[in-house]
Amino acid sequence: TTCSQLLAMTQPDAPPPQPDPFAPSFRCGCARAADGTCLFAERSCKETAEVSPTMQALIERRMFEEWDKAKSTLMVSEPAEQLHRRVQGDLRSFVNKYLNKDNQQAALSVIPLARLRERAQELAQELSQQLALIKALLEWFKKDFFSWVNTLPCERCGGKTASAGATEPTAVERMEGGAGRTELHKCQALTCGHTTRFPRYNNPVKLLTWRKGRCGEWANCFTLIVKALGYHVRLVNDYTDHVWVEVWDDAEKRWVHADCCENCLDRPLLYEKGWGKKLTYIIAVSEEGCVDVTPRYTQNFQQLNRGYCSEVHLDTFLQTVTIQQQAALPATTERAAAINHWWLDRQQLLHFLKDPTAREGESGAAVLPGRTTGSVEWRAARGELGNGAAAAAAAQCAVPP
């Protein structure tokens, strides 16, 4: 958790690490370069501090050595391979979708920025300037821009429909919106019986005009909008079937949870304590790399069912992918920012592992609600209504299709 532990292999005779590595500031005297100078010097985890080139090189060499050793000594199981493919696929998708300047320009054209800035001014007394705008964006996105789909109304008569399975998307649905599959919703009116198609679009530009879907479409479109506004943002995939984003806040030097489906900001325990989810893996991806952020979202990490691979294997794999991704960033300043984000985030995640009750911005006394999006039947079947009063409140908050 300290620099001495991270770089132990380069300094085998180094003294033991300083006590309390999670203190806000510390002085490292254990991992030293050849000339005797400290690689870290004095640093506060609440201050922006660029990681030195010497430290970056040592970390990079360490991660590649560890991954080479892991590949040669560990049998990579099929579940681990599946996780590798999913993470790498999510990373490629992020880069292709959200870093595209034409896509970002399309997103900017639909954002009522003046209105959002005005609302952010009202929220700025309680939040940083950056987070106030994100909160305003969440409100607008949920209330005015995007809509949740249980089933679509019948396109012929406007009546209620019910799910009737799924089929392959048409060539047009693939080309225009990158649909991977299409749901079929059959009209329940006896005089109609028409089947309406619901393509599950993956292209965030298409979603800017389609403006409907479930959590995948919501987070997909929202990520592009946040990126277009110039934020550092990453897409967060919960492997028990949900997705949201995290936004970097310069004021607090941390990644902040933001769920556009729930209009929820900085409530990372929402899913475990509010919805009652049994979490497994939660992986964040962006052009800065891939990080296992599960400790931010649980107070019971040691009890989670995480069977894809060993924790060492996963950590080494994600860090190696992250180093490769950061090395490909186009500008030195972007690389420095990415490394700094990674380092500060790692300290916070380690802090949560050490003290699961620690959550910045989240009151332990707050009652976190069950899920509010989707039909009551659908949420109940997924076990996401929560418990007691929270469940009763959530049951009254179904978002209409």
- Dump the DSSP string for 92-107: HHHHHHHS-HHHHHHH
The active-site residue, picked from 84, 185, 232, 242, is 242
Name every residue whose Cβ is closer than 8 Å to that of residue 22 and which is 6 or more positions away in sequence. Answer: 1, 347, 350, 351, 354, 355
User: What number of H helices and E strands is found in the chain?
Assistant: 13, 13
Active site residue 238: no
CB 291 within 8 A of CB 284: yes
Around Cβ 199, how many Cβ atoms within 10 Å? Answer: 21
Pair type for strands 212-213 and 42-44:
unpaired
CB 289 within 8 A of CB 325: yes
Can you tell me the distance from the alpha carbon of 380 to that of 375, in angstroms, rounded to the nearest whole number? 8
Can you tell me the distance from the alpha carbon of 54 to that of 42, in angstroms, rounded to the nearest whole number? 16
The active-site residue, picked from 259, 266, 292, 345, is 259
The active-site residue, picked from 28, 154, 187, 215, is 215
Look up residue 37 and give its amino acid.
T
Active site residue 30: no
Upper half-sphere CA count for residue 150 (Cβ side, 13 Å):
16
Q: Residue 395: helix, strand or coil by DSSP?
A: helix
Measured at the CA of 236, the angle between CA 69 and CA 263, to 5 degrees, comes to 165
Question: Three-state SS string across 233-276, please?
Answer: EEEEEECCCEEEEEEEECCCCEEEEEECCCCEECCCCHHHHHHC
Phi and psi of 333, rounded to 5°? -65, -35
Name every residue whose Cβ is closer than 8 Å to that of residue 322 and which is 6 or more positions away in sequence. Answer: 288, 289, 290, 291, 342
Active site residue 68: no
Give the catalytic positions in this structure. Answer: 215, 242, 259
